Amino acid sequence: MKEFLGHIAGERNEGTKTLAPDVEEVIMAYDWPGNVRELENALERAVTLTKGDVIPRSAIPDRISERKTEPLVAERPHQNPSLDVIEQAYITWVLQSEGGNKTRAAEVLGIDPSTLYRKLSRYDGSEKKSDSEPPPRAE
């Protein structure tokens, strides 16, 4: 980061600015999906917005300074899916990504093809039932 700040200062013929300690923490904690170019752009923006010698947190873009954390599953406002629902969704996803090839999907899932067929038939049975159909009669 100090190298970027020095480079930016050289391009502008200005003195090198420093980061406030909390800003350095924020920058180190950010994932930087745009890698070096995104970091350099963020620092250049911060230098431009800063009148003094120390770059405050307010000069850092919000997307970087605001941590976005995913709430724990139990804290989500909607109902948590059951393990069966998650398993079915994952098996369906793997099967689709393997172009419908059940043998290959079973290999990817690490299960025997017969287990995959059994699970798929169980899912087919649950998908075909609708809430408007009466339950089967016991005779």
pLDDT tens string, the chain, 139 residues long: the values are 778 888 888 888 888 888 888 888 888 887 777 678 888 888 888 888 888 889 888 888 887 777 555 555 555 566 777 888 889 888 988 888 889 999 999 999 999 999 999 999 988 875 444 444 444 555 4
Report the DSSP pairing between strands 54-55 and 18-19: parallel
- Name the maximum alpha-carbon separation found in the chain: 91
Predicted confidence at residue 131, as pLDDT, reads: 41
Q: Structure pTM? A: 0.45
Cα Rg of the chain, angstroms: 27
SS3 of residue 18 by DSSP: strand
